Amino acid sequence: MTHRSGLTPYGKFTIIRKMRKPKIPLEKSSGNVFADIGFAPRAAAELRAKSSLIVAIKDTLARRKLTQQEAARLCGTDQPTLSKVFRGRMDSVTIDRLAGWLTSLGRDVEITVKPAPRTRRHGRLRVIEAA
């Protein structure tokens, strides 16, 4: 609480100013944050797929109330590796390894290959998590 004199109840002066927030231009996302920050399309798709698998692993750990140590034992890896991946170090793990961890944690992983629509020149890589 500030008194009219500018003193707070503790006797210190405060300066009250209205600060204008700078206007930051907004850009609509492509739906893939990795593509938005400049990764090549193929790398962006792979990073997005890895991120989705990592989120599924973290959700599974939370649902099963597993510690990273317990999960690492089930996945056949060590806790520091699991922690590193959870902190975003995706370069140290493959999609195949992440899928293996999910199956070790009791999740089914399905890979579907189908023709791309004629409207797209190339296929795409994506992960869809079922409920």
Average pLDDT over residues 27-33: 83
Helices marked H in the chain: 33-36, 41-64, 68-75, 79-86, 95-104
pLDDT for res 7: 56
| C-alpha span between 68 and 45 (Å, rounded) | 27
Does pLDDT of 13 surpass 80?
Answer: no
pLDDT, tens digit, for every residue of 58-89? 999 999 999 999 999 999 999 999 999 999 99
Name the one residue in this structure whose structure tokens are 């890895």.
50
Residue found by looking up tokens 């140590």 in the block? 69
The CB-side HSE value for 74 (13 A sphere, CA atoms) comes to: 19
Pick 83 or 33 by higher pLDDT: 83
Domains with residue ranges and CATH for the chain:
33-104 (1.10.260.40)
- Average pLDDT (12-19) is 61
pTM to 2 decimal places: 0.73
